[in-house]
Structures are given as structure tokens and as C-alpha cells.
Amino acid sequence: MSSTHLGSTTLAQVAVVVHDIEETAKRYADVLGLPVPNIITTEPGNEVEMSFRGEPSDARAKLAFFNLGSVQLELIQPLGGKSTWQEALDRKGEGVHHIAFWVEGMQRSVDFLKGQEIPMVQRGDMGEGQYAYFDAEDRLGLVIELLEKKREGRAVG
């Protein structure tokens, strides 16, 4: 059964790719009046079933999250390997990378976006859930990320 829409209007995150997450996190903390968040490093891509443009990827990134009400501001510093994060940083420099939405039954949303000619470019597991990025640059000017808390099956683009 195909969906006639994305499947969610629950905005989870706005994410920014950066060259130096420690320095950028300090600047955001100063402006927002919040403490500098913990900075985490993702597991290697091969440990979370990561793929980028249909091929396995071992990319990693440093992440920092500011909780801003019901939406997080995510900072992402790529640490090498092929990824949508590095691709965006190389192509456009620092700036907004994606907006993320919580969904259930991610494959329905994947199929809907595919029908809209918005291809999945990266996915990976996150605990019991998964994330997937979609190249909506031509349609929306940025990447869309879908987040699923409990993985029903690995999304296939």
C-alpha cells in the first residue's frame, strides 16, 4: 500500500554540518544561553549497517544535540568516509544539512519519497531504530531525514 504523503509532520531536528564541532557548539551555546552539549562519535558505518548511495560505508561523525523545546538542533562534523554529511560539507560548506521527522513504518515513507523522485541516499541503524536521508535538494533545497524509533525492517530505497 503506497502512502500519499510523507507519513509525519512531527519535526524532530534541524541539523547543521560543520568543520569544527567543538568550536561551533561553543558558539551556539553562547547565543542560545545553554550549556555546551556532550559531543558523541558515531559507531563506524559497518557496525550500523550504513549505506551511502547504495554502497556500504564506514563513515563516522561527531554529533552534538541542543534540545530546543520539541525540536533538536543537531551539529554534525563528518570524520571521513563517504556520507551525505561529507558530501554536503564539500559541496556547500557549513550550513543546514537536513530537517528530520519521526515516522512509524519507515518503508511506506521511503516508497512515497521515491515516488516523488526524492531518493534515499544514506541509511543506518540506531539502536532498535533506524535513520535514512533523502536527497530533496532539487525539490526543497535540503536533505530530509526520517527517524524510526523501533525498526520494522531495514528501509530499502
Closest CA to 132 of 141, 142, 122: 122
Is 6 part of any domain?
no
- Residue 39 is predicted with a pLDDT of 98
Does any domain span residue 5? no
CATH assignment of the domain containing 101:
3.10.180.10
What per-residue confidence (pLDDT) applies to 1?
39
CA dihedral 123, 142, 15, 67 (to 10 degrees): -110
For the chain, give the percent of residues with pLDDT over 90: 85
Residue 42 lies in a domain: yes
Domain with 47, as residue range(s), is 11-148
pLDDT in tens, 70-112: 999 999 999 999 999 999 999 999 999 999 999 999 999 999 9
Q: From residue 15, how far is each of 1, 47, 59, 62, 115 by CA, in Å?
A: 31, 23, 17, 12, 25
Q: Flag whether 26 is in a domain.
A: yes
What integer pLDDT is reported at residue 10 of this predicted model? 87
Number of domains within the chain: 1
Question: How far, in whole angstroms, is CA 21 from its chain's centroid?
Answer: 16
Backbone angles phi, psi at 137, to 5 degrees: -55, -45
pTM beyond 0.75: the answer is yes
